[in-house]
Amino acid sequence: MSNQKKYDVICIGQVVQDIMVTNIPENALTADTDTIMAGQVLLASGGDAVNEACMLAKLGNRSALLTRLDNRNVGDMIYGDLTREGVDTSLLIRPDDCKTFSTVVVVKENGDHSFLIGPGENFMLKMSDIDLSVFEETRAVTAGSIYALGELDTGGLAVIFKKAQEEGAITLADMNFDTLGLGAHAIDSVYPYTDYLMPSYDEAVYVTGEKEPDAIADAFLKAGVKNVVLKMGAEGCFFKNAERRFFTDPYRITPVDTTGCGDNFVAAFLHGLLKGMEPEACAEFACGAGALNSQGIGAHLYIESEEQIRQFMASTEKTQLHRK
């Protein structure tokens, strides 16, 4: 695969304005008082594709974001974030009728989070927005995330991934929950053109109906996916393809905020692939990135470099789960 292409990665998918709020009690919305002091309130760009594009850029890749972004204040704020993070913004589509939505991310004391999602308008990327020739100029394409891509979920992404593969690019897809009720088989057309599929365990159980990691991976492999990477949160990850399978144990940490950890995992795994690393090393590095991201607030704000992740991995113990 040539390293002389214009982009290392084109990231397709979600963009959102995150309003991060920490240290909010569970009864905040039902308490008698009308004023609650938060630990932090932070305004930042977010969304799966944004988080992946920003992290890939921080790790030294030429990453571009392909999505719709509004032309108003929220869009300008996100555009500024992307520029500061070193993401290529030349592929952004900014129509006047697009309104990027905002999400209030309530970070709980244990690092978990809840999302309060505001409305948006015409923010989903359309096939008519996309010039397929751009995929001739990239080493990889990510979709962040399937089940959250609008019309791309129902056929468009298969066309994009097929084109990308024909041009020698790696295709990689994250997954989201099926909030629109598309059904477990709605994305079947994408799998034959997907080199790496990276769902969370719960998302994968919904799609496959299976509970055991091997059975989950086998279902995706049978559907045409070449490599399955199952994100298992506090239990690390599971990898399987036609030749090999393995578990990667998690790092022993106390999370501050788990927002975006899965997206950091995806970006770090792809970074490893682009550097020619073996899947085992990619998985170790991805687990390190996901764990390190949880040590700060925000979906892509805490990690600054590959060296930071390497230092964290070298100085942090792993939980030995002794799986076979």
Residue 222 confidence (pLDDT): 98
Single pTM value for the model: 0.94
The residue-averaged pLDDT of 108-125 equals 84
Percent of the chain's residues with pLDDT above 70: 99
Residue 267 has pLDDT above 80, yes or no: yes
| Rounded CA Rg of the chain | 19
Number of H helices, E strands in the chain: 8, 12
Q: What interhelical angle do 73-85 and 48-58 show, nearest 10? A: 30
Strand partners, 22: 107
Q: Among 200, 178, 233, 18, which Cα is nearest to 107's?
A: 18
152/161 Cα distance (integer angstroms)? 11
Q: Which two tokens stand for residue 127?
A: 């096939």
Each residue's pLDDT tens digit, 191-245: 999 999 999 999 999 999 999 999 999 999 999 999 999 999 999 999 999 999 9
* pLDDT tier at 47, thresholds 50, 70, 90: very high
Residue 48 has pLDDT above 70, yes or no: yes
Distances (CA, A) of 191 to 127, 135, 151, 166, 220: 18, 18, 16, 15, 7
Residue 1 has pLDDT above 70, yes or no: no
* pLDDT tier at 75, thresholds 50, 70, 90: very high
61/9 Cα distance (integer angstroms)? 7
Question: What's the maximum distance between 2 C-alpha atoms anywhere in the chain?
Answer: 62
Residue 6 has pLDDT above 50, yes or no: yes
55/272 Cα distance (integer angstroms)? 13
266/311 Cα distance (integer angstroms)? 19
DSSP per-residue string spanning 245-276:
EEEEPPB----S--TTHHHHHHHHHHHHHHTT
The residue-averaged pLDDT of 238-254 equals 97
Residue 259 has pLDDT above 70, yes or no: yes
Give the amino acid at 126: K
Instruction: Output 173 or 104, whichever has higher pLDDT.
Output: 173
Each residue's pLDDT tens digit, 292-316: 999 999 999 999 999 999 999 999 9
**Vertex 113: Cα angle to 108 and 118 (nearest 5):** 120
Residue 2 has pLDDT above 50, yes or no: no
Residue 141 confidence (pLDDT): 98
Measured in whole angstroms, the distance separating CA 16 from the mean position of its chain's CA atoms is 13
Mean pLDDT, the chain, rounded, equals: 94
Handedness of CA 297, 250, 16, 129 (dihedral sign): positive
Residue 3 confidence (pLDDT): 64
